[in-house]
Amino acid sequence: WMVAYVMDDGPIRYYRYDRGEKKAHFLFTNRNELEKQPLVKMNPVIVKSRDGLNLVNYLSLPKGSDSDGDGFPDQPLPMVLLVHGGPWARSEWGYDPEHQWLANRGYAVLDVNFRGSTGFGKDFANAGNMEWAGKMHDDLIDSVNWAVEKKIADPDKVAISGGSYGGYATLVGLTFTPGVFACGIDIVGPSNLITLLESIPPYWAPMIEMFTTRVGDHRTEEGKKFLTERSPLSKVDQIEDPLLIGQGANDPRVKQAEADQIVNAMEEKKIPVTYVLYPDEGHGFARPENRISFFAVMEAFLAEYLGGRYEAIGEDFKGSSITVPEGKDGVPGLAAALAAHSNE
């Protein structure tokens, strides 16, 4: 038998199991360099929602922050709340590069499986129906409150970050519950649920009925009113916390207009925002050079508002297509790095 041994603080290790010998023989690991790194554990935690649901979340802590090994830090830490995309997906236990990176920079990392996530049964998934910016968001706030009560998180230094639905959740966090988060990072997230549903690509057309059941019906006046109420764009004047937006210009699912319209609305109201746009990316950042460049901006942004460690941007834009249409002065070193990059 071939056996893959999955860990949270190291790469996958592959073994050949000899049934005759009843012994496993190590073959290889898929990422040798990770074996040498000070990686951290990912601890499953159960958070009770305000209406009694069990939320299976995952917590990672910086190396050396938990001296007695009880799964909680010795003192409250700046924390990044991660919100997965989908939302009909889930966060899972195991090695996660984003957890490792953020923990290395000094942050507690809490990954939330809010209602609507898959993998926990139909009732849990269906509990998210028509609850975008509703009870799905309450689950995120309940998770933050849990982390504060357990003295995991410094209540004044909690960021929210995510991609796709997680980007939407970030925008909801800053518009529906201003002041809870010190800052937010929205990656390819929709800002207007009506334009999101109206721009569904043709190959997703069979899913329209699912969206009307789970999100709202953009084809009726009543549905449009509901979707407007649940759209961050309708509450943009509530934003009082720093926001970083990342977007691909070729995104077929969450079109560039979703980012453009909230950035424009913030500009009109003179609310600062940093907008990073990649002309050669789609729904997420596929090119390694672009991913590296965005993470360089992201960690400098987090350091500015949460106080964690970061590496100066330096040459991290090399080979990337990064553009910053708005807010290049809102992140330490960003303007200088862009100027150097344009001269390459």
DSSP 127-169: TTTT-TTTHHHHHHHHHHHHHHHTT-EEEEEEEEEEETHHHHH
> What span, in angstroms and rounded, lies between the C-alpha atoms of 35 and 203?
42
**How is residue 307 written in tokens?**
């106080």
Is a pLDDT exceeding 70 seen at residue 305? Answer: yes
pTM: 0.96
Residue 54, beta-bridge partner list: 48
Q: Is the dihedral of CA 51, 53, 59, 65 positive or negative?
A: positive
| Catalytic residue chosen out of the listed positions 49, 60, 91, 164 | 164
Residue % of the chain over a pLDDT of 70: 100
45-74 core/surface letters (b: 16 or more CB in 10 A; e: else): bebebeeebebbbbbbbbeebbeeeeebbe
Q: Which CATH class is domain 38-342?
A: alpha beta
| Catalytic residue chosen out of the listed positions 99, 137, 283, 341 | 283
DSSP 42-105: EEEEEEE-TTSPEEEEEEE--TTS-TT-SSS-SS-EEEEEEE-SSSSS---SS--HHHHHHHHT
Segment 257-270 shows an average pLDDT of 98
> What span, in angstroms and rounded, lies between the C-alpha atoms of 136 and 128?
6
pLDDT at 147: 99
pLDDT at 30: 86
pLDDT at 343: 73
Fill in the DSSP letter of residue 282.
Answer: B
Q: Over the stretch 132-183, which tens digit does the pLDDT of each residue have?
A: 999 999 999 999 999 999 999 999 999 999 999 999 999 999 999 999 999 9
Q: Where are the domains of the chain?
A: 1-37, 38-342
Band of residue 220 on the pLDDT scale cut at 50, 70, 90: very high
Q: Is the preceding peptide bond at 87 cis, omega within 30 degrees of 0?
A: yes
Residue % of the chain over a pLDDT of 90: 95
pLDDT at 200: 86
| Catalytic residue chosen out of the listed positions 111, 154, 241, 251 | 251
Fill in the DSSP letter of residue 260.
Answer: H
Band of residue 272 on the pLDDT scale cut at 50, 70, 90: very high
> What span, in angstroms and rounded, lies between the C-alpha atoms of 141 and 112?
10
> What span, in angstroms and rounded, lies between the C-alpha atoms of 259 and 275?
8
> What span, in angstroms and rounded, lies between the C-alpha atoms of 158 and 306?
7
Q: Over the stretch 11-63, which tens digit does the pLDDT of each residue have?
A: 999 999 999 999 999 999 989 999 989 999 999 999 999 999 999 999 999 99
**How is residue 85 written in tokens?**
């995309």
Q: Backbone phi, then psi, for 46, in 5-degree steps?
A: -105, 125
To the query of whether residue 283 is one of the catalytic residues in this protein, the response is yes
pLDDT at 342: 84
Q: Average per-residue pLDDT in the chain?
A: 97
pLDDT at 344: 67
The residue type of 275 is Y
Segment 294-307 shows an average pLDDT of 98
